Structure formats: structure tokens, C-alpha cells
Amino acid sequence: MLRFLTAGESHGEAVISILEGMVAGLRVDTGSIDTQLKRRMQGYGRGDRMKIENDTVRILSGLKDGSTLASPITMMVKNKDASIDTLPPLSCPRPGHADLAGGLKYNQKDMRTILERSSARETVARVSVGSICKLFLSELGIEVISHVKVIGGVDCHTRDLSYEQVRDQAEKSKTRCADGAATKLMVEEIDGAKESGDTLGGCFEVIARGVPAGLGSHTHWDRKLDANIARALMSIQAIKGVSVGIGMGAAIKRGSKCHDEIIYKKGHGFLRRTN
Amino acid sequence: MLRFLTAGESHGEAVISILEGMVAGLRVDTGSIDTQLKRRMQGYGRGDRMKIENDTVRILSGLKDGSTLASPITMMVKNKDASIDTLPPLSCPRPGHADLAGGLKYNQKDMRTILERSSARETVARVSVGSICKLFLSELGIEVISHVKVIGGVDCHTRDLSYEQVRDQAEKSKTRCADGAATKLMVEEIDGAKESGDTLGGCFEVIARGVPAGLGSHTHWDRKLDANIARALMSIQAIKGVSVGIGMGAAIKRGSKCHDEIIYKKGHGFLRRTN
Amino acid sequence: MLRFLTAGESHGEAVISILEGMVAGLRVDTGSIDTQLKRRMQGYGRGDRMKIENDTVRILSGLKDGSTLASPITMMVKNKDASIDTLPPLSCPRPGHADLAGGLKYNQKDMRTILERSSARETVARVSVGSICKLFLSELGIEVISHVKVIGGVDCHTRDLSYEQVRDQAEKSKTRCADGAATKLMVEEIDGAKESGDTLGGCFEVIARGVPAGLGSHTHWDRKLDANIARALMSIQAIKGVSVGIGMGAAIKRGSKCHDEIIYKKGHGFLRRTN
Amino acid sequence: MLRFLTAGESHGEAVISILEGMVAGLRVDTGSIDTQLKRRMQGYGRGDRMKIENDTVRILSGLKDGSTLASPITMMVKNKDASIDTLPPLSCPRPGHADLAGGLKYNQKDMRTILERSSARETVARVSVGSICKLFLSELGIEVISHVKVIGGVDCHTRDLSYEQVRDQAEKSKTRCADGAATKLMVEEIDGAKESGDTLGGCFEVIARGVPAGLGSHTHWDRKLDANIARALMSIQAIKGVSVGIGMGAAIKRGSKCHDEIIYKKGHGFLRRTN
């Protein structure tokens, strides 16, 4: 059983994670974690915070000579801006954030005590943990990729692309979209929204390849793979929906028509590709 | 901390659940659990199995004089058809079910060893557990309702309805839809699909009222309320997507336009109403 | 991961357990569970309750044709005396029991609401669960036995006995002690205590054979085998101490003298035999 | 629910812990943690490692202006000797350690990959976590103290001492024993053992004051306070036995004679004092 705890505030000293339960003997190259941390900071139109951070991980435990010991692995990413104790208080909860609920729950008047932890900067810890897991999965021939499908209503066309094309073209796109034409439109949409002081949402797809049949289990609700994937994804800041396979598309067509192509065109939510 | 285990096969002797961690002194009327079990069996166009079952719960532990003892509560619902040991084997995995993955994982050639447990009959146990929780929540002034929004592409119009109207009209509808006109169209759609040997999907909304601010927590990923709701819902058989608030609708419009009405019209996924 | 919940009150309808996480394909003979339940009721000088119970298990889920399905296994043992709702209230907490702490915690004035669950009758559920696990371990060549070492100050002499002799002679002894002479003295001690309205404590040893090296793990405190054994044993009603290996004997001699024989003579606590 | 993960190897860069689930608004003085870390390093006759360490904690997350945020608290204690990657391999498993079991489990030939984590230096992390918990308990009027009762067979006489005397005199003793005469004998015993290249065991008592009735619960085995205390204590390196109240002493006397004084004289295991 793998488990992990993440820690760290947005303007605290560092973002830290401990991953417990990893096997012994896995080679860990910190460069590969830094690569994932760098990928995390990309994306056209990200906020200013992204620009000052240049995250690199430091592994404080769990390795000897670059290999895992099966003991807990501690990963620390220092924050460039560690001003948490000097930042001015913020008394007004921001809508759409954890401020109000958190402030009420923990009896806090300064919203900064909430937002410092609810911040998406916490995902630095999850990317660190995930990067080690990626190395482990890679040993088993499992690869997990993702690509952006929709931003601000701009959909993409990727149904004619192979798995490798989706993976590689998304990596090169400014908006992590495998469709070059859609990337351009997405960039325009982002620029437009920025100009008018607005924001945009989007939709991305995660694809895992090489996964053995039988992960998770049908025998108890909390062992189901889909359920645990949904929990993990929905726990990411700003994620509002998770779909598996046909997803919400199932609501609008008959079972006999639920093949991938149709759903794919519609671009509703996540989709498990079968090619 | 509340926890529960469910047990039971579709054609086994009974479906059983143990709910551990409930408070002491909660009045439990088994009639109210039976009412929920009955509601579970409704729905226009359900399969034949539904017709033979007339589920009633028997509480085997956790109560004295009709009140909880804080000790584990066992609920047993007997199956009418307990033929598990005499049913013929099934060697061909059914697509879209747990058969193949389960058979591979547990090294089984008779798919019946898998489908007996992966069956949605398991939700009898979850309804039992949920019914006790409903009684507990009711003491705290919390009510959780649900209604069907889409079936087979037929959307409903409920934006002008009050919370009470949604709740009460859905309860009377054949398809658990609060919109009478939509109910009729849904029934037609179901009849049509049945006639042509097809199936339909749909979309339902769950609304909780009276919930105190601060349930869950922003402090760690696995404490987040949305994440745990997504896990619980996605673990239900045949659920393919879960959304919170604006859900997938966020992908197609600007932040400034993300108010309920627009999303509601589109009928994408679940929606937390604010009226 | 194996987990289980137990349920049931001493004078409730039944004692129930659900064991979740067992492998598929394990043959389960309910007779072997009943044998363990019978062994649980033995022991010279047990209370009257023991005499009326003749426990037999009924498996309600998790099996098909006598083999496990990997789905949760429900075991139910009916109580002969299911008078929980008609028993008179008990307002005075009994010393040395959970009555007072439980009554204060759960705000109960009738101690019966506490003692019905804190009763050692709950171990019926754990014996049921353990019996299935015993069958599973047996497939792996692992055997777990136990024998009584001390009752009321009467120690036994078993250092010259083989593993098999300890196992077999304890099984035939009235007090589950492998030493026949000690058994006689223990019986006398029990008779004497009973006559004067007193009680006695004792000490037993659990020995597991065939266990592979490396169960548990040194990598995190809550994975340590000794820690989890201590938790499981200390959770049994009336258990006041748990030792592993040399145990408390370590407090009274030098490391160079800590070989089994010496400790064995002293009869302090549990001991992992090495023969 | 409080939970924590510990990390770090004996000669790694640091010992780290993350404590998750603490309340908001608790004042945390790192000086008080350092005091506990210093107490950890005391004890007459400790090894050389103790002399080079002068542990001080650095809190990397979870605080703002010295108060907890309810977010995970990371505590890091740097190791003076971080030579893990350059230490020579150790091919021979040391008896009485985790080396052999760990090496077999994790398929390691260099025992250093095991002992670096199984080392008692890991308790630095637990002391860090415990120190925060101590501050929290102190707010609730709960105090937890401990004192040494036996070392190498030398017992102490503390039955005439008050709680405060036990606490304060143990703090001043070289061997953390509240009995001055016994302390002297213990020191002699330790010197003697050291001279002859031998080791000694001992026995200590933990006493909690101000604990509200009803901690833990009788309702399920894994909620029982005694069980969880036993697990936590037995998980500490070199602990071989845990007793609660009368402990193993129950094996040698009648129930009517089980009052504290008698057991106390015998010095068998832990004892919950009642004064």
C-alpha cells in the first residue's frame, strides 16, 4: 500500500511530501522530478506566481546511492517567496475559494490562514510524489499521459491521431493541446479573456497505457478503480468534474451508439481511448 | 468517524451491511429504511429482477429498544432468489461489466463468480447504510434529495421550481423527474429504446440542504468534501461521471458567465442549485 | 489488505462479522469454524453463559459452492438468549469493566447499553474471522497455536516438550495447559478461587510456525509486526499485557543471559519459542 | 483524526515528520520541541551517537506567526552525520535487529539499506510529533509523564511518592528513576554491564493525568484505547512488552488481591497509578 502526506503553504518555506510504501531498489533521478515540476509550471496565460518559481526538488530521505530503500521518501521544494509571516491579513473571503468555508471551520478571521494552504501551489507536492510513482510505473511498462481537449469552449480534433501523436504534439503545444489549429484558437481565447479581465475553464484527458486488467476491485465500493481515480482528480484545486469512459455523454444517447468517436467529437469530459 | 462494509451476492442468501461509528441514542425506525429500499426499486423501465424483490431490512445488532447503542449496526436484507450455488456457469464475459477484469484478476473462468458481487444489487446494502445516516442527518436539520435531470437526451426544465417543488414532484414522477412534461418524453424514450432492444443513460442531481459550512477540509487532499463525494458516487455501479457545481460546463464559458441558469439549460452533469 | 468489522451484542439477536479482502478460491468448511467456536467455549471454570451457548456459524455471503469469491464474507452466529430489549436496566457501573467510561462517553444511564457490546461475547465474531484466516494460513503452511502457561500463579513446565507436544497436550488439558501436573494444580486453584468467590488471571503463549521472514516492515511504525500483534491482542477483553520474545523478562537480566530457557522458567509473559 | 508519517535514515540528511490533522490556532514554541529532543538524548550509558547529536527542529510548514494553521506540520531535524552514501556495506545481519528479516523482505545484501531506517534514530521524528501533541494536550489540561522503574533487575521504590515527586525526581535522575537510591544502583549496574561488554534491559511507566473518561471506545476492537496504546509503544525500537494497569501481574494473584501496591512491589511491567 502506497500512501503520502503533503505539506506546505503557498508562501511558506517549502512544499514537502512524504511518500510511504514504495518498493526498494527503484532508481530515482531527481532530474526527472524537476522535469515534471517544470511541466507543471507551463501553460499559456498562467499567473505571475508561475514566473518567479523555478522549482527543483531535494530528496531528504528514502534513498541510498540514488535508489529507494523502501523507507519513506521525503521531497522538499523550497519556495522562492517565503513571506507568510509578513503578508498583510486578508479579511474578505474570495468567492469560489476555500476562504469562507475554511474560515468558518477553523474560526479564522484572516483568510490568509486558509488560502495559504488551499492554494494550488500544494500540487507541487503531488507532482513530486507522482513523479516517483511515474518512475515506478515505467518499470512495469505503464505510461500515463494527458492532453488538453477544451479551453473556453474551443474544442480540439484528435480522433485521427495516434496515442504517440497525442502525447508528443500536446507536449509541444502552448496550451498542451495535440491539435495545432485548436491551440491557436485557444491562445486567442485566452488572450481575449485576459484582456477583458475574465477567466476560462477547460477539459483535459488522462490516458494510461500498459495497465494490467484487474487493478482495483469490484468486491467493495472503496476498492473500485474508477472511484479512487475520481477522488484523486476531484481533490485537485479547481477540478469540478470527473468522467470515465463515455462519461456524461451517456446521458444523451442510446447504448448502441456509445462508441468512442461520437463522444470524442462532442468533447464532453474525459474519455478512455481504445486505440 | 463512520465506516461501513457491505456484503452479499446478487443471488446469495442476503445482502448485509455493518455500519460502525454511529452515535448512541438515535431512534431507528426500520420502516424508514424499508421506504428507502422501496424507492431504490422504482424507476420506469427497470429490469425483471426488480419486480421479484420486495426488500425489507432486518437489524441484527446495534439497537436496544429501537435506539442505537453506538455499537456496530448490522442490516440484513434477504434475497428472494438465493440460487447462487445452482445457477449455471457463464463462461463469456459481458462487455461493459466487471466480468473480464474480475475474471482475470481473481483467476476465475466462471464469470458468475464475478458478476454475483459486481451486481448493482449491492446497492441494497448502501441504501440500508444510507438510510440510517439519513436519520442521523435529519436530527441535524440536513436533508439530501435527488432528482433525474436527463434520460436518453431528454432534458428537463426545473429552474423555476423551488427546492420543495423539485423534491416533491420528482417523488411522484415515474422517472423521478420534477418536470411533468419531460417525464412524459422520458417515458416515451424509454419505451422506444426498449422496443429496439437498446439502453439509455441519464443524469441526476443530488442536493443537500442544511449542511454546515466547513464539512471536509482544504488542508489535505483526501479530506476534501468534493473528492470524497466523487469517490462515493463514482463507486456506484454504472456511474460514469461526477460533477460538482458548474461541473464540465466550466469548459465552455468564461468565468463571468458561470451562473447557474446558463449551465442548467445546457444540462451538462450535476449542478448545485443555489435557490 | 484484509479488514473486518464485528457486530453484535451479548444478548442481541446474533454476533456478526464481515471479513473483506480475502482471496478467491479458498475452500471454507463451516465445520472448521464451528470447531474453533467450540474451542472458544472451553476452559475449566467458565461462567454459566458458556453452558447455554452452542455456537454454530452461518455464512451469509462471500461463498459459492463452498469456495470464497474474494467478496466480503459475512458470518452470523445466533445468540440463544436474545433478550436485550427486555433485560432490566443496570444503573451501577461494575468496576473493572467498560461501564463507567462507556456510560460517560455515550451519555448513558443504563449500563446495559454499554456492557452488551463490551462483553467478551464479541470474541465470537473474531473467532469466526480468525477461523477463515486460519484456513487461509494453512494453505501457506502457517500454523498458529496457543497454550496456557500460568493460571493463578501456577506455572507450567514445558521446556522439554516439542512444538507438537505443546500443541497436542494443551488441546487435551482441562485448562489448555500442556503440562499435566500443572493442569491439576490449576484446576485446584480455580476450584479454590471459585469457592471463596474470587477470580484468577493467567498467561498464555501464542506460537506461529511457518511464518515467512519479512512479515510487517521496519520502514514505518504502523507496519511493524510486533506493534500490530500487540494491538490485536490487547484489544481482546481482559487482556492486560502483551510481550514478544523475551518480553518484560528483559528488565531483569543482562543481554548475554537472555536466552529462552531462563525466561521460560520464570514464566513472565509471552515467549517466541525457537525449537 | 490525527495522523503522521515519519521519514529519515540514521545517517541520511535529516529526520522528517509530517503531522496532519492538528487544530488551528495552537501556539507552537520550537524551543519546547527542542527540549523534548534533548530529553530523548539523555540517559546514563547511552551510545556514542548520542554525544554527537544536538538535535534542533526546524518547522517547514503548518505555522503562521507561530500558530498552527490546521494544515500539515512538517518538522525537520538535520543529522550531523549524513554519510549514508559513503558508509561501507555491511553484509552480516546483526542478531536481534531488523537486518535479516528486512534484507530477506526487500531483497537486499547490504544490511545498511535496512538498518539505516530501522535505527532508533527514527524516534527523533516521533518525539517531534509527540511534542506538538504534548502542547495540544496541555491546552486541555492533560499531562503525560514517564519514569524508569527497573534497569538490569534493579527495582525502585516509588509507592510513597506523589505524582509530582515521581515526575520531578525522575527528571533529575541520571537514569530517569524517581528513587535516588535505586538510581545509584542502576548506574553501578550499567557500569558493570558496560565493563563486561554486556547490555541491560529495563522497564518504564507512563502516566497520563487529566485524561477525560471515554477516550477510545468499547464498541469496536480497533478503537480500544489500550489496544492503540499497545500498538504505539510496541512499535518503538527495542520495546518487547506492554502492560496496562496490573499487566502480567494478573497471572499470579487472585482478583481480590489485585491492588496496586502488591503489583508495584513486584515491578512487573507498566502500571496505571491511581494516586
What is the full DSSP assignment across D139-153? HTT-EEEEEEEEETT
Long-range contacts of B259-263 (CB under 8 A, 24+ apart): B260/B159, B261/B159
DSSP state of B72: P
Measured between beta carbons, the chain C residues lying within 8 angstroms of A1 are 1
Measured between beta carbons, the chain C residues lying within 8 angstroms of A69 are 219
Does residue A188 surpass a pLDDT of 60? Answer: yes
- Give the pLDDT score at A50: 61
Question: Is A14's CB within 8 Å of D69's CB?
Answer: no
Cβ-based neighbour number of residue C221 at 10 Å? 21
- DSSP state string for chain C: --EEEEE--TTSSEEEEEEE-PPEEEE--HHHHHHHHHHHH--TT--HHHHH----EEEEESEETTEEESSPEEEEEE-S---TTTSPP--SPPTTSSHHHHHHHHT-S-THHHHHHHSGGGHHHHHHHHHHHHHHHHHTT-EEEEEEEEETTEE---TTS-HHHHHHHHHHSTTS-S-HHHHHHHHHHHHHHHHTT--B-EEEEEEEESPPTT-S-SSSGGG-HHHHHHHHHHTSTT--EEE-TTGGGGGGSBGGG--HHHHHHHT-S------
Residues of chain B whose beta carbon is less than 8 angstroms from a beta carbon of chain C are 3-9, 12-16, 18, 20, 23-25, 60-62, 64-65, 69-74, 76, 84-85, 106-108, 112-113, 116-117
The predicted-structure confidence for B217-239, as pLDDT tens digits, reads as follows: 999 999 999 999 999 999 999 99
- Give the pLDDT score at C275: 32
Cell (9 digits) for B66: 429501537
The predicted-structure confidence for B150-185, as pLDDT tens digits, reads as follows: 999 999 999 899 999 999 999 999 999 999 999 999
Task: Identify the bridge partners of residue C5 per DSSP, sorted by sequence position.
Answer: C18
pLDDT category at C271 given cuts 50, 70, 90 is very low
Residue with cell 440510517: B132
Q: What percent of chain B has pLDDT over 70?
A: 91
Shortest distance between the Cα of C61 and any Cα of chain B, in A, equals 5
- Give the pLDDT score at B245: 87
Does residue A48 surpass a pLDDT of 80? Answer: no
Taking the C-alpha atoms of residue A121 and residue A50, their distance in angstroms, rounded to an integer, is 9
Residue with cell 494497569: D245
Identity of the amino acid at C254: R
- Give the pLDDT score at B51: 64
- Give the pLDDT score at D76: 98
Cβ-based neighbour number of residue A82 at 10 Å? 15
- Give the pLDDT score at A265: 36
Shortest distance between the Cα of C65 and any Cα of chain D, in A, equals 31
Cell (9 digits) for A44: 499559456
Comparing B255 with D76, the larger pLDDT belongs to: D76
Task: Identify the bridge partners of residue C20 per DSSP, sorted by sequence position.
Answer: C3
Instruction: Let me know: does B224 contact B217? Beta carbons within 8 Å.
Output: yes
- Give the pLDDT score at D258: 66
Mean pLDDT over residues A43-67, rounded? 85
Taking the C-alpha atoms of residue B19 and residue B30, their distance in angstroms, rounded to an integer, is 15
Nearest chain B alpha carbon to C23 = B106
Taking the C-alpha atoms of residue A260 and residue A246, their distance in angstroms, rounded to an integer, is 7
SS3 B41: helix
Shortest distance between the Cα of B40 and any Cα of chain C, in A, equals 21
Measured between beta carbons, the chain B residues lying within 8 angstroms of D219 are 20-21, 69-72
Within 13 Å and on the Cβ side, how many CA atoms surround C248? 25
- Give the pLDDT score at C199: 92
- Give the pLDDT score at A52: 65
List Cα–Cα distances, D241 to B39, B174, D238, in angstroms: 54, 64, 9
Q: Which of D102, D228, D253 sits opposite C218 (nearest CB)?
A: D102
Q: Where are the beta strands (DSSP E) in chain D?
A: 3-7, 14-20, 24-27, 57-61, 63-64, 67-69, 73-78, 143-151, 154-155, 202-209, 241-243
Nearest chain D alpha carbon to B218 = D71
Best mean pLDDT range from A243-252, C240-249, D229-238: D229-238
Instruction: Let me know: does B251 contact A238? Beta carbons within 8 Å.
Output: no
Question: Is A220's CB within 8 Å of C1's CB?
Answer: no
Mean pLDDT over residues B43-63, rounded? 83
Strands A57-61, A73-78: pairing is antiparallel
Q: Name the average pLDDT for chain B.
A: 91
Q: Which of A1, A18, A26, A220 is the best substitution to test chain C (most C C-beta atoms within 10 A)?
A: A220
* ipTM summary value: 0.92
Q: Where are the beta strands (DSSP E) in chain A?
A: 3-7, 14-20, 24-27, 57-61, 63-64, 67-69, 73-78, 143-151, 154-155, 202-209, 241-243
DSSP state of D15: E
Shortest distance between the Cα of C135 and any Cα of chain A, in A, equals 21
List Cα–Cα distances, D171 to C185, D180, D183, in angstroms: 45, 11, 12
Does residue D271 surpass a pLDDT of 50? Answer: no
- Of A142-146, A240-244, C50-54, least confident by mean pLDDT is C50-54
DSSP state of B121: G
Does residue D192 surpass a pLDDT of 80? Answer: yes
Q: Name the average pLDDT for chain C.
A: 91
- Give the pLDDT score at B52: 65
pLDDT category at D139 given cuts 50, 70, 90 is very high
Nearest CA to C153 out of D72, D56, D248 is that of D248
Does residue D111 surpass a pLDDT of 80? Answer: yes
Nearest chain A alpha carbon to B149 = A251
Does residue D38 surpass a pLDDT of 50? Answer: yes
The predicted-structure confidence for B83-128, as pLDDT tens digits, reads as follows: 999 999 999 999 889 999 999 999 999 999 999 999 999 999 999 9
Does residue D130 surpass a pLDDT of 70? Answer: yes
Q: Name the average pLDDT for chain D.
A: 91
pLDDT category at B267 given cuts 50, 70, 90 is very low
Backbone angles phi, psi at B267, to 5 degrees: 65, 30
Taking the C-alpha atoms of residue B198 and residue A235, their distance in angstroms, rounded to an integer, is 36
- Give the pLDDT score at B23: 98
The subunits that touch chain B, with at least 3 C-beta pairs less than 8 Å apart, are A, C, D
Cell (9 digits) for D166: 515521581
Comparing C253 with C174, the larger pLDDT belongs to: C174
- Of B54-63, D155-164, D254-263, least confident by mean pLDDT is D254-263
pLDDT category at D261 given cuts 50, 70, 90 is very low
- Give the pLDDT score at A252: 84
Q: Which of D254, D256, D270 is the best substitution to test chain C (most C C-beta atoms within 10 A)?
A: D254
Question: Is A20's CB within 8 Å of C70's CB?
Answer: no
DSSP state of A109: S
Q: Which of C19, C23, C219, C228 is the best substitution to test chain A (most A C-beta atoms within 10 A)?
A: C219
- Give the pLDDT score at C259: 56
